[in-house]
Each structure stands twice: as structure tokens, then as C-alpha cells.
Amino acid sequence: MSAEPAPFEILEHTADAGVLAHGRTLAEVFEHAAEGMFSIMVNLDGVREVEQRSMAVEGHDWPSLLVAWLSELLYYSDVEGLLFKRFEMEDFRPYALRALAFGEQVDRQRHELGTGVKAITRHMLEIDEGPEGCRVQVLLDI
């Protein structure tokens, strides 16, 4: 009677915050980790899917791919002022991914904003693949 774990939960760390994401596959858990990261920045319920961005990133192992993926999203957030709420992996393979991100431009009147994320840390970064599902733990610099 194991209930499906929540897509993500927010972890606590004295200086910052982290995301613990779950999913059936690594691709899904990468999507959930991204959702978790944006949930720190904004109440995702209020974000509409108006804009879409396509991105491709690479790494030299799974942890570096995860860091590259989340960093890429932060880049769009900083440069174009975008907040994403949903992600679709189009291609996902050892150490490269292509994905779509859906969201909209930040609106300081309408969005319930949280705290900006500065960067993705490698400290205590964990990626587990198991028969019962996948799990990612990542700490973010706030």
C-alpha cells in the first residue's frame, strides 16, 4: 500500500534550501527536480503556460547533467525573466538531454514570488536509480 511519493519536497539546510525529487524514471525525476526548484521562486499554481523554451544540455555523468539542466533553466530565468512550471523531456540519454520548458514571464503583480535561486550546488548531490523508482537530492544556493 505504498502511496506514490510526492513529485518533490523541499529540503532544509541552514544556509539554503534543497529539493528532494521522486519519479519513475530518471527523466521524470529531472523534470520534478526542476519543478521543485521553481517552486522556491514562485507559487507554481499561479504560473501560466504561455511561453515555451527548448533546451539541450550535456554533462559528463548524471550529477553534472542534472546541474547543467537546472543551471540552464536558471539562465533563462535570469536573462529572459521566465518562470517555468512544467517540463517535458524529449530526449534523455546518458549524459545529454533535450527538453521543453513551459511557463511565463515573471509578473510581480500577479505572481506570488518566493526567493531567487542563485545556483545549483554539488554538495550532497545524490541521484539514485532503483527498481521502485528514482530519487534526486540537490541543494540550491539561495
Residue whose C-alpha cell is 521562486: 41
Residue 41 binds another protein, judged by CB under 8 A: yes
Q: How many residues bind another protein (CB under 8 A)?
A: 40
DSSP annotation of 46 = G
Give the DSSP H/E element, type plus range, for residue 8.
strand 8-12
> Least separation, in Å, of the C-beta of 137 and another protein?
12
List 8, 17, 21, 29, residue binding another protein (CB under 8 A): 17
The cell for 8 is 518533490
Residue 25 binds another protein, judged by CB under 8 A: no
Distance CA 21, CA 93 (A): 19
Residue whose C-alpha cell is 525529487: 21
Instruction: Provide the binding-site residues for another protein, judged by CB under 8 A.
Output: 10, 12-17, 41-42, 60, 63-64, 67-68, 71, 74-75, 78-79, 81, 106-108, 111-116, 118-125, 139, 141-142
